[in-house]
Amino acid sequence: MFDKLQFIKLSTRDLPLINEKIRFPQVRVINSEGEQLGVLVIKEAIQTAFQEGLDLVLVSNKSDPPVCRIVDYGKYKFEQEKKAREAKKKQHQITVKEVKMRYKIDEHDYNVRINQASKFLKSGDKVKATITFKGREIQYGDLALNLLQKMSQDLKELSDIQQAPSRDGRNMIMILSPKK
């Protein structure tokens, strides 16, 4: 497990550089109102930030010269964390839901599985249709293939076939993804 020093190192690694930790000879400085002050020597930029009672924060080290902004570091860090939380909240995790059947399934049971799969697809999840074989049933792979093709036909207005029916050991699987 992590000890305290490793945890501190991991959490401070993704924070932006501030004040004396910035090691570039010259930086482009943007003040607290958003106006460019131009390219300054790093000591001048830090002094300007301290005169305003704020911090010099490295915004972009990829440009030439690197871009720094004069801001309140506490507020800046809070805003960055808030943006990250909002972005994470808006992400939708696509999960794979499984519908299991046997190749000699009854009509009513098949309709129940179709209804389950359509509910999963409407909620934006992928569906993995699995047909399991026991013992000598494995020789009836063509019947299972027909059943999966029938299922894809019944769900064609809700889904696209992401993975065609294929044999996986004692199972035959097919993956359906929701239509965009």
Q: How confident is the model at residue 12 (pLDDT cuts 50, 70, 90)?
A: low
Beta strand spans in the chain (E): 26-30, 36-41, 55-60, 67-71, 96-102, 126-132, 159-168, 171-178
CATH 3.40.1110.10 correct for 4-90: no
Angle at 62 between CA 57 and CA 64, to 5 degrees: 95
**Contact, 45 vs 56, CB < 8 A?**
yes
Q: Which of 3-12, 34-43, 128-137 is least confident?
A: 3-12
- Ranges 19-23, 71-75, 95-99, most confident: 95-99
Distance CA 167, CA 128 (A): 13
Give the model's confidence band at 34: pLDDT under 50 very low, under 70 low, under 90 confident, else very high: confident
pTM above 0.85, yes or no: no
Domain boundary assignment for the chain: 4-90, 96-178
Percentage of the chain with pLDDT > 70?
A: 92
What is the 3 state secondary structure string of 139-161? HHHHHHHHHHHHHHHHCCCCEEE
Looking at the domain that runs over 96-178, which CATH code has it been given?
3.30.110.10
Q: Rounded distance, CA 65 to CA 82, Å?
A: 28
Whether the CB-CB separation of 28 and 39 falls below 8 Å is answered with yes
Share of the chain above pLDDT 90, in %: 34
Mean pLDDT of the chain: 84
